[in-house]
Amino acid sequence: MEEYKEEKIKGCYRFCPCPSYDIRGTEEWLTDMASKGYHLEKKGIVLGSLFCFIKGEKKEVRYRLQATGWRDEPEDEVQEVSREYGWEYVDIRGDFYIWRTEDASARELITDSTVHAAAVEVLQKQQRNSIIWTIIEGVFFLILTRFSFLTLPICFGTWRVLLIGACLLYMLIKDIRKVKTIGKIKKQLLLGETPKPTYPWREKKGWYHIKNVAENVIWIVVVLLIVQGSLRLEGIGRKRQRYRLLL
């Protein structure tokens, strides 16, 4: 298979309009970009959502996502065998490898959907662990609020406390939805079906980008508020210590 050259004559960056676990949606989007002459650069994914494309000829390219199953990179032997069958490893996004081929006669990368489903199940377990940690963080936050019901609002402000709590709740709901979606993908693979897109990226990609930007801005604000509140809490502690020394 002809590999894409590293020379960048013309290129562009695009945010992926669907979640990292949306297997079919990501494949369709990358294939659509290739048909317009934009091909994903090897190791060209930045921060999981920003994709670097190289401008070239318009081609029919098939992209496939494969669950990593705890591995950071596919083994060299796996990449070599895949090249023999016409598939090129491109990059990793989240918990999925990204492969591509422009050979229309190349067989499917994943011929055993059961094996793929098993790898997706590992991903599902990871997300369940993430839910457990989010619940632990929420419980710790509630305990902290309960036993510091005077100090915490003074340091952080009542609205800041409510905002942090709302963000933790949103994170929990988002993780639960992600686990349910991954579970549906696993069931489709076990039935030998091609996973369906989990998000209508063609119709709502603009809304998806706006939502992601809003989420990132809110999380930056929350982190800054936590830092500010921690500094205030530290200041209160120092004042108390000085007061005790004076006594």
pLDDT digits (tens, 9 = 90+) for 193-218: 888 888 788 888 788 888 888 888 88
pTM, 2 dp: 0.74
* Whether the predicted pLDDT of 152 surpasses 70: no
Percent of the chain exceeding pLDDT 70 equals: 80
- Note whether 197 and 190 are within 8 A (CB): no
pLDDT digits (tens, 9 = 90+) for 97-148: 999 999 988 988 877 777 778 778 877 887 788 788 878 877 776 666 555 5
* Helix (H/G/I), strand (E/B), else coil: 16: coil
Report the pLDDT value the prediction gives residue 73, as an integer from 0 to 100. Answer: 82
Please tell me the distance from the alpha carbon of residue 97 to that of residue 191, in angstroms, as a whole number: 22
Report the pLDDT value the prediction gives residue 234, as an integer from 0 to 100. Answer: 58
* Whether the predicted pLDDT of 187 surpasses 80: yes
The model's confidence at residue 7, banded by pLDDT at 50, 70 and 90, is very low
Which pair of tokens denotes residue 49? 């959502």
Which pair of tokens denotes residue 76? 């060299």
pLDDT digits (tens, 9 = 90+) for 25-70: 999 999 999 999 999 999 899 888 899 999 999 999 999 998 886 6
Report the pLDDT value the prediction gives residue 116, as an integer from 0 to 100. Answer: 77
The model's confidence at residue 16, banded by pLDDT at 50, 70 and 90, is very high
* Between 189 and 58, residue with greater pLDDT: 58
Other Cβ atoms closer than 10 A to 227 = 10
Please tell me the distance from the alpha carbon of residue 81 to that of residue 77, in angstroms, as a whole number: 6
The model's confidence at residue 71, banded by pLDDT at 50, 70 and 90, is low
Q: Is the dihedral of CA 191, 102, 65, 34 positive or negative?
A: negative
The torsion angle over the Cα atoms of residues 112, 113, 118 and 120, rounded to 10 degrees, is 130
